[in-house]
Amino acid sequence: MPKNTPLDTLIAPYRHARPAPRFALGRIDPSATPLGSGDKELDRAAVEALALELDGLQDRLRADRRYKLLVVLQGVDTSGKDGTLRHVFGRMSPLGVHTVAWKAPTETERAHDPWWRIHHAVPAAGETVVFNRSHYEDVLVPVVQGTLSPRQTRERYRQINDFERMLCEHGTVICKFMLHISKDEQRERLQARLDDPDKRWKFDPADLQVRAQWDDYQRAYAAAIAATGTPWAPWIVVPADSKTHRNLMIARVLKHTLEKLRLRYPPGDPALAGRRIA
């Protein structure tokens, strides 16, 4: 596509928000680079520049306080959630950006509804919160394990949509990214963890059991995205076999999203104009 093609046009095939044609995850090529320049070094430099711009936009978000930003990063093991945090959000001030890494619910959390623990972690006014995994684990793992019936799964999809709509109606902007990698790419990344003594601590033998259920998880992701991609909280499926392209796509979407909010600094006190500190 021409260089001046609008971002919304470039990402349209990767965006799902109902009403839209039926979503098919299998039609999206994990190795695609729709936003790439063809030069990896140029793209890396672009990610760094975007990270600095996002820092400035986040500063305005903190000052403006009309909005809150919730970023959801979902993906199979090794899809690049941690790498995205380092490269896209690493320049932002920790004063306004927080990351929540979701694990299996505790006994206390299981004693409540599935969204109770999530609601405690959503952003406050002016904050950016990034979910490393998220409330979508509750419609992925139980579905694959067979502990949710089809009726219960549909109920959870509806509850997620209602929950996210409520957040948006109270000023939360939600960006949901599914980091889409191929099975071959995951194999290479898992092997790299095993082969590197400094990364071997990241390897969990349970990852191999999950990998053996690859097709089941792909179906669960596709169903969840189809059911919960909404106008107020759409999904962006990010081709993520290329780590550089993954970062570039997410950074550009976030910049575009924040710029559309027309964030502004609050007006200063006129009495302070011209004042000099002794």
Instruction: Specify if 271 maps to a domain.
Output: no
Tokens of 73: 């990063």
| pLDDT(3) > 80 | no
Q: Quick one: pLDDT at residue 1? A: 45
Instruction: Specify if 268 maps to a domain.
Output: no
Give the mean model confidence (pLDDT) for residues 128-151. 95
| Segment (H or E) for 16 | strand 15-16
Instruction: Specify if 270 maps to a domain.
Output: no
Instruction: Specify if 273 maps to a domain.
Output: no
Amino acid letter for position 140: L
In the chain, % of residues over pLDDT 70: 98
**What SS3 state is found at 15?**
strand
- C-beta neighbour count of 245 within 10 angstroms: 22
Give the mean model confidence (pLDDT) for residues 251-264. 97
Residue 220, classified by CB atoms within 10 Å of its CB into exposed (0-12), middle (13-18) or buried (19+), is buried
* CATH number of the domain within which 203 lies: 3.40.50.300
CB 254 within 8 A of CB 47: no
Print the domain residue range for 54: 7-263
| pLDDT(223) > 60 | yes
Cβ contacts of 205 within 8 Å, gap of 6 or more: none
In the chain, % of residues over pLDDT 90: 82
Backbone angle region of 75, left / alpha / beta, with phi > 0 → left and psi within -120 to 50 → alpha: left
Instruction: Specify if 110 maps to a domain.
Output: yes
Tokens of 243: 């780590």
Instruction: Specify if 204 maps to a domain.
Output: yes
pLDDT digits (tens, 9 = 90+) for 85-100: 999 999 998 888 999 9
Pairing relationship of beta strands 68-75 and 172-180 according to DSSP bridges: parallel
Overall pTM surpassing 0.85 (yes/no): yes
Cα–Cα distance, 88 to 258 (Å, whole number): 14
pLDDT digits (tens, 9 = 90+) for 154-192: 999 999 999 999 999 999 999 999 999 999 999 999 999
Average pLDDT, the chain: 93
pLDDT band of 21, cuts 50, 70, 90: low
- Tally of domains in the chain: 1
The least confident of 21-35, 114-128, 137-151, 221-235 is 21-35
Instruction: Specify if 272 maps to a domain.
Output: no
Cα–Cα distance, 263 to 192 (Å, whole number): 42
Amino acid letter for position 110: R
DSSP states of 66-94? S-EEEEEEEESTTSSHHHHHHHHSTTS-T
Give the mean model confidence (pLDDT) for residues 244-248. 98
- C-beta neighbour count of 216 within 10 angstroms: 15
Q: Which residue(s) pair with 85 in the sheet?
A: none
Give the mean model confidence (pLDDT) for residues 40-62. 97
pLDDT band of 42, cuts 50, 70, 90: very high
Instruction: Specify if 277 maps to a domain.
Output: no
